[in-house]
């Protein structure tokens, strides 16, 4: 473990939230820091009720608070004091989860498009995709919606000009967006 000087900036994020920014771009090296800060702030949420929610993401941590108990400046001071002697683990304490994926153009409508974009075979797309682990940076807009990174440059593919309005049931829910991988916990069309 190493004690670190403040590696973040605190910004106002509205009437009842502030944002700790650790960097400008997603970086696997930030994950242990963001986890350590989140864990250190949890007692303010759990015991004291000063914080309503902690929302870690790629390079930020949003802190939602009760404006009747705190304001931006007082909570910023409390956070800064609480993080003064923060120790950050050198390695991420996460665990590996294997996700079964069915690679077939019938259920993965972009599989052939990715292969064509990179001028490789579908088999090579699969080989490249399965050749590495993808750390989870954040859980997204729906419960269980995981943002994984970073997709290798040799697979990163531009988005469609316009998104599909509908995805057939059974479609592979694993997809690339920018330089990240997203996993829907279930079919995005279902409710």
Q: What is the pLDDT of residues 12-53, one digit of tens each?
A: 999 999 999 998 887 878 888 898 999 999 988 877 778 999
Which conformational region is residue 151 in: left (phi greater than 0), alpha (psi within -120 to 50 degrees), or beta? beta
77 three-class SS: helix
| Whole-angstrom distance, CA of residue 150 vs CA of residue 42 | 28
Q: What is the pLDDT of residues 112-171, one digit of tens each?
A: 988 999 999 999 999 999 998 888 777 766 666 777 777 888 888 887 888 777 766 545
pLDDT at residue 150 in the model = 77
The answer to pTM > 0.75 is no
pLDDT at residue 4 in the model = 45
Task: Write the DSSP assignment of 40-75 as a string of letters.
Answer: HHHHHHHTS--EEEEEE-SSEEEEEE-TTT--HHHH
Domains in the chain (CATH in brackets) are 2-88 (3.30.1360.40), 111-183 (2.40.100.10)
pLDDT at residue 158 in the model = 82
Cα of 79 vs its chain's centroid, Å: 22
pLDDT at residue 191 in the model = 44
Flag whether pLDDT at 179 surpasses 90: no
| Whole-angstrom distance, CA of residue 158 vs CA of residue 152 | 13
């Amino acid at each position: 473990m190493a004690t670190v000087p403040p590696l973040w900036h605190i910004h106002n994020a509205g009437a009842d939230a502030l944002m700790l920014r650790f960097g400008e771009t997603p970086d696997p090296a930030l994950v242990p820091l963001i986890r350590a800060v989140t864990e250190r702030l949890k007692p303010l949420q759990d015991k004291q009720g000063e914080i309503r929610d902690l929302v870690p993401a790629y390079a930020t941590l949003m802190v939602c608070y009760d404006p009747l108990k705190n304001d931006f400046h007082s909570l910023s001071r409390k956070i800064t004091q609480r993080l003064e002697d923060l120790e950050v683990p050198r390695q991420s304490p996460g665990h590996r989860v294997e996700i079964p994926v069915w690679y077939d153009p019938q259920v993965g409508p972009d599989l052939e498009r990715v292969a064509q974009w990179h001028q490789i075979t579908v088999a090579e797309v699969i080989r490249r995709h399965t050749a590495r682990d993808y750390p989870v940076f954040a859980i997204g807009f729906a419960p269980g919606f995981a943002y994984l990174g970073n997709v290798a440059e040799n697979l990163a593919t531009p988005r469609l000009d316009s998104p599909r309005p509908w995805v057939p049931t059974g479609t592979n829910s694993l997809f690339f967006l920018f330089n990240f991988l997203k996993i829907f916990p279930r079919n995005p069309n279902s409710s």
